[in-house]
Amino acid sequence: MASKQQKVLFEAEKQLDIVNEQFKTLQILNEEGEVVNESAMPDLTDEQLQELMTRMVYTRILDQRSISLNRQGRLGFYAPTAGQEASQLASQFALEKEDFILPGYRDVPQMIWHGLPLSQAFLFSRGHFAGNQIPEGVNVISPQIIIGAQYVQCAGVALGMKKNNSKAVAVTYTGDGGTSQGDFYEGINFAGAFKAPAIFIVQNNRFAISTPVEVQSASRTLAQKAVAAGIPGVQVDGMDPLAVYAVVKEARERAINGEGPTLIETLTYRYGPHTMAGDDPTRYRTADLDNEWEKKDPLVRFRKFLEGKGLWSEEKENEIIEQAKEDIKQAIKEADNTPKQKVTDLITNMFETLPPNLEEQYEIYAEKESK
Amino acid sequence: MAQMTMIQAITDALRTEMRNDPKVLVFGEDVGVNGGVFRATEGLQKEFGEDRVFDTPLAESGIGGLAIGLGLQGFRPVPEIQFFGFLFEVMDSIAGQMARMRYRSGGRYHSPVTIRSPFGGGVHTPEMHADSLEGLMAQTPGVKVVIPSTPYDAKGLLISSIRDNDPVIFLEHMKLYRSFRQEVPEEEYTIPLGKADVKREGTDLTIVTYGAMVQESIKAAEQLEKEGVSAEVIDLRTISPLDIDTIIASVEKTGRVIVVQEAQKQAGIAAQVVAEINDRAILSLEAPVLRVTAPDTVFAFSQAEPIWLPNYKDVLETAKKVLEF
């Protein structure tokens, strides 16, 4: 029997194209530091622009020093951040003090600029509980190691803010690999269903350790994953501080006005390895790709932009670099001077009231520690 | 005083704490207008509103995350996991997250969450509804695990669990929900967590147990009495932390012990109880401490429950082994 021409019931390619059309990359500053989208320009004063650049330069130095201190054995776990300054710091710059940040393991810079003392960030890296004793009034929680967990928790923090009628938002970060987790989807879906004031940021640096983003999903953007939750999604040039700032600012406005959560994908790149625990990016990244992204460096384009406005100089930048180095030296000293952890400390931190098994073990270790 | 089933006592405890503390929130799958699949939250949304008693999307991990986040904003969440076999979906939120909150933040944050969840065999539920997974929770530092066996205990323990400022897993045995009524005070009262209860005093043998096995053990003890043996039945009520003092005092008195659980032999907490007794009271023992458990298979297909679940006959048989050792 001759096969009959099958009737096409849905136009698969067209369907995907129509969706992709909705998620074009938003950019304000191009690689040369030129404004390419005047209408999207955020309303920032000269001082604010300088402050944002200051933080980005400072954080680049912090990354360089952290890698070096890690190699000397003076820091422990460290996930490099160079390249992601616009994505991390311009997003945090759009927040208010009352906003609550649930960071991933690479998001220590946001915590620092939200109020975490540098010495505590170093103690977190070394593996000391004092690093996680966030000062009162600093609305962050320590970096989440379980990829995706921060997303479901963010939905809860945001719902809590809504119930408390606070004009604040919960903000969380994950990477491109993290979008494959169930908790990623559950988090944005819960926040959507409860119309909770949350901002979900996906920092797409194209690699989850060695796995390229194309292996994570057939989806052509990560921003469009918002569609599954019925919430707005936006893809932004994550190497462009002004675009990142503008988008987070708008998501924040929507959230505090009761319009619900937003998913933001920042297209970014990490210049360094995944972590300092032996990862070697030359095994899975080409020099061509590295070079392509180095041209997009957020510091380079923002420096050009500010210099064009007469708001930046080499002298000013060097002052910040010296300041950062001095602060880091001081913070490492403070971390060194933090008393060593004892088992009795760890026991004490478990519960408000110790159960009998821990009371018993406390006595045993207190005895050992007294010798 | 009122005659209540365990499920009524649970609802009463939830109502009491919701009235006492405006920060208490009840949420989960179908706990709102529906009043819960077992009616445990019946009438609560009507009395307290949708802001405090609400349904969630069908995702246990999300529910766990929601509870953690709400806890960080000063609420006292009482989420429900519809059946404890669904624990695996939310294992990270419980064991990987809320259990560690106080510790990992050096006391800066905590998780005042009470997770309610039904479990337990004997009512012919479909797959993954009845499994006894309390052993997994008891192995998790940072959570307390409470399993009441009577309406009176359920109310006092649930109020204590909700007031506790650290996470509590409150497991409700489905077979006990409506199997009998008991006098339960209408006013509020608490039962301390971590305290066992001697349900029946005896001098010849100690039976340490919890959950639905309490009734089976009492039934066995009544039979033993007819045969001239005086068995003491200890209902642990909290399986983590254990009430070591009550267990050891009884063991020192009787010299013979069995531990009875519904979970498989490799699961549950019976092995932990045996080890504690061996550590602390071996010189009092006239015989080894034996266990009554389910076999080490996956939880029975529902038709096979009667031949698989431990019951009073198994308790009797093991008790006799220990008595005749």
A190 to B62: CB separation less than 8 angstroms, yes or no: yes
Which residues of chain B are within 8 Å of residue A158 when distances are taken between CB atoms? Answer: 69
Which residues of chain B are within 8 Å of residue A178 when distances are taken between CB atoms? Answer: none
Chain B, nearest residue to A144 by Cα: B97
Of A286, A248, A289, A293, give the one whose Cα is nearest residue A269.
A293
SS (H, E, C) A115-169: CCCHHHHHHHHHCCHHHHCCCCCCCECCCECCCCHHHHHHHHHHHHHHHCCCCCC
Of B148, B179, B13, B162, give the one whose Cα is nearest residue B77.
B162
A351 to B166: CB separation less than 8 angstroms, yes or no: yes
Q: Residue B110 catalytic?
A: no
A356 to B244: CB separation less than 8 angstroms, yes or no: yes
How far apart are the C-alpha atoms of A78 and A63, rounded to whole Å?
9
How many secondary structure helices (H) and strands (E) does chain B include?
12, 14
Chain B, nearest residue to A193 by Cα: B57
Q: Is the pTM of this model over 0.95?
A: yes
**Digit-coded pLDDT (tens) for B129-148:** 999 999 999 999 999 999 99
Contact A250, A43 (CB under 8 A): no
Collect the ranges in chain B with pLDDT lower than 50.
none
Q: Which of A99, A100, A153, A161 to mutate to test the interface with B (most CBs of B within 10 A)?
A: A153
Contact A228, A187 (CB under 8 A): no
How far apart are the C-alpha atoms of B153 and B210, rounded to whole Å?
12
Bridge partners of residue B25, in order along the sequence: B77
Q: How far is B86 from chain A (nearest CA, A)?
A: 15
What does the pLDDT read at residue A2?
58
B72 to A100: CB separation less than 8 angstroms, yes or no: yes
> Would you give the distance in Å from CA A176 to the centre of its chain?
11
Chain A, nearest residue to B98 by Cα: A153
A293 touches chain B (CB under 8 A): no
B67 touches chain A (CB under 8 A): yes
The CA dihedral of B243, B249, B255, B258, to the nearest 10 degrees, is: -20
Contact A302, A56 (CB under 8 A): yes
A161 to B73: CB separation less than 8 angstroms, yes or no: yes
A129 to B103: CB separation less than 8 angstroms, yes or no: yes
Residues 223-262, chain B, touching A (beta carbon < 8 A): 241-245
Q: What contacts B241, CB < 8 A, 6 or more positions away?
A: A355, A356, A357, A358, B144, B194
Residue appearing with tokens 């989850």: A208
What does the pLDDT read at residue A305?
98
Q: For residue B22, is the peptide bond before it cis, meaning its omega torsion is within 30 degrees of 0?
A: no
Of B186, B66, B74, give the one whose Cα is nearest residue B115.
B66
What SS3 state is found at A72? coil
How far apart are the C-alpha atoms of B164 and B277, rounded to whole Å?
28
CA B208-B211-B217 angle, 5° bins: 50
Which residues of chain B are within 8 Å of residue A155 when distances are taken between CB atoms? Answer: 62, 65-66, 69
pLDDT, averaged per 10 consecutive residues of chain A (371 residues), comes to: 76 94 97 97 98 98 97 96 98 98 98 98 98 98 98 98 98 98 98 98 96 96 98 98 98 98 97 92 93 96 98 98 98 98 98 98 98 91
CB atoms inside a 10 Å sphere around CB A206 = 17
B57 to A190: CB separation less than 8 angstroms, yes or no: yes
A164 touches chain B (CB under 8 A): yes
Pairing of strands B144-146, B168-173: parallel
Q: Side-chain half-sphere of A273: how many Cα atoms within 13 Å?
A: 14
Max Cα-Cα span within chain A: 92
Between the alpha carbon of residue B94 and those of residues B115, B136, B161, the distances in Å are 9, 11, 15
Which residues of chain A are within 8 Å of residue B51 when distances are taken between CB atoms? Answer: 163
Q: Looking at this protein, which amino acid is placed at residue B292?
A: V
**In B21-145, which ranges are continuous DSSP H helix?**
44-48, 60-72, 91, 101-104, 134-138
Q: How far is B55 from chain A (nearest CA, A)?
A: 10
Q: How far is B123 from chain A (nearest CA, A)?
A: 32
Query: What sign has the CA pseudo-torsion A202, A205, A211, A213?
Result: positive
Token pair belonging to A128: 């000391």
Of B117, B77, B60, B87, give the one whose Cα is nearest residue A182.
B60
Catalytic center residues of A: 270, 274, 284
Residue in A133, A193, A357 nearest the CB of B105: A133
How far apart are the C-alpha atoms of A135 and B310, rounded to whole Å?
52
Residue in A133, A146, A193 nearest the CB of B107: A133
